[in-house]
């Protein structure tokens, strides 16, 4: 029983980090219908910003979240205004290509600035764990999971308890109606994109402590993140959290009870199986268009 509980804990902690990063991706899709292929690259950029703050200023890498989040928010805002905004209403395939190109540009930029060598952020507690009997809880994962919860709850409160949140939801559900009541859609879109990228920045600061990374590591992340938001239901925040936790658990349990060789494949098989039964994802809505297509 004990190894199972240990693996369960490790899977949940992994899922918590996935949830933080996936939330921004699904938020951007939910409001803007933009599949941001560059999201993983922004995550790695957050990792490098955290690394820079840690090495130059000596801040604790977890506190670097305070730096990476606003920095990536600003980057997201500028990127939206300069790059994404001109084609926001274009077909979705255009935004996919655009953000894929953006990912390549970001990778090249990071390689130019920080080099293509592997980078590791190792505070003193990076390889330490809390012990409960024979169980261990890696400190960095625990702190990362707690930060993920704080950020996700903050995001939830922002969307449900504030005027800006209501404006975001109005813009997502009925852009024309939102405009009629005085909401500037382009400003809301820029804000949402920036918030989404800011969550990638927060996630990047945490991921940098957990795993070494290179500029090209974003490919591994974006593949997982896309699978997570599809599993949870694209555009659904709750779905992203649920999908992330399921993904993390599936990776951990597969590595423990099937084989580590299948640990990165089985979660995708689960996504495939879920989509066969629920094409809209776990918490996604079945839409009118889907019904018509049946």
Partner 1 sequence: MSPLPRPGRRTRGSVTLLAATALALSAPACGIGGGDDDSGDSSGPITIGTSLPLTGEFSQPGQAAKEGYEVWQEMINAEGGLLGRQVELTIKDDASNQNTIVADYNALISQDNVDLLLGTFSSLLNLPASSVAEKNQMLYVEPAGGSPEMFTRDYQYLFFTQQAPVDRQGDVFAEWITSLPENERPKTAAYPTLDDPFAIPTSEGIEEILSANGVETVYRETYAIDTKNFDTIANEIKAADPDLVVQGAIFEDGIGLVRAMLKSGFAPDWLYQSTAPSLGEQYAEGVGAQNTEGVMFAISHAPEADTPGNAEFVAKYKEMFGGLPPEDAADAFASGQVLQAAVEGVGSIDDQAALADWLRDNEVETILGPLSWDETGSPEGEFLIGQWQDGKVEYVLPEESATTDHIVMGWQPGDAS
- DSSP code at position 284: P
How deeply is 152 buried, as exposed, middle or buried, from its count of CB atoms within 10 A (0-12, 13-18, 19+)?
A: buried
Give the nearest distance from C-beta 174 to partner 1 in angstroms: 8
Closest to partner 1 by CB, 10 vs 67, is: 10
Q: How far is the CB of 131 from partner 1 (least distance, A)?
A: 7
Q: Which residues contact 146 (CB under 8 A, 6 or more apart)?
A: none
* Shortest separation between residue 71's beta carbon and partner 1, angstroms: 24
Q: Which is nearer to partner 1, 179 or 220 (CB)?
A: 220
Which residue number, 71 or 205, has a Cβ lying nearer to partner 1? 205
CB of 140 to partner 1, least distance (A): 8
Quote the distance between the C-alpha of residue 96 and its chain's center.
17
Dihedral-angle region of residue 209 (phi above 0 means left; psi in -120 to 50 means alpha; beta otherwise): alpha
Cβ 200 to partner 1, closest distance in Å? 16
Q: Which is nearer to partner 1, 116 or 186 (CB)?
A: 116
Comparison of 190 and 283: residue with beta carbon closer to partner 1: 283
Can you say how many angstroms the Cα of residue 212 is from the centroid of all Cα atoms in its chain?
Answer: 18
Paired strand residues for 119: 213
Cβ–Cβ under 8 Å, residues 240 and 151: no
- Token pair recorded at residue 124: 């003193």
């Amino acid at each position: 029983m004990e190894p199972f509980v240990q693996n369960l804990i490790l899977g949940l902690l992994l899922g918590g980090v996935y949830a933080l990063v996936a939330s921004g991706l699904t938020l951007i899709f939910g409001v803007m219908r933009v599949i941001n292929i560059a999201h993983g690259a922004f995550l790695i950029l957050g990792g490098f910003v955290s690394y820079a703050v840690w090495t130059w200023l000596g801040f604790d890498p977890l506190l670097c979240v305070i730096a990476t989040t606003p920095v990536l928010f600003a980057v997201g805002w500028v990127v939206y205004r300069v790059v994404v905004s001109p084609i926001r209403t274009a077909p979705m395939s255009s935004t996919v290509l655009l953000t894929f190109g953006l990912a390549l540009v970001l990778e090249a930029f990071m390689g130019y600035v920080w080099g293509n060598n592997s980078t590791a952020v190792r505070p003193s507690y990076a390889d330490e764990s809390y012990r409960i009997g024979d169980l261990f809880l890696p400190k960095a994962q625990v702190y990362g999971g707690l930060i993920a919860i704080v950020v996700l709850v903050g995001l939830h409160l922002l969307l449900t308890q504030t005027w800006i949140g209501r404006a975001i939801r109005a813009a997502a559900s009925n852009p024309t109606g939102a405009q009629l009541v005085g909401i500037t859609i382009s400003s809301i879109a820029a804000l949402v994109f920036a918030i989404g990228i800011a969550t990638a920045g927060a996630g990047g600061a945490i991921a940098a402590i957990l795993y070494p990374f290179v500029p090209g590591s974003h490919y591994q992340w974006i593949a997982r993140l896309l699978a997570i938001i599809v599993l949870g239901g694209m555009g659904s925040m709750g779905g992203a959290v649920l999908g992330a936790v399921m993904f993390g658990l599936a990776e951990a349990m597969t590595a423990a009870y099937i084989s580590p060789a299948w640990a990165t494949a089985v979660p995708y098989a689960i996504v495939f199986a879920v989509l066969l039964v629920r094409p809209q994802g776990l918490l996604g809505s079945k839409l009118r268009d889907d019904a018509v297509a049946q």
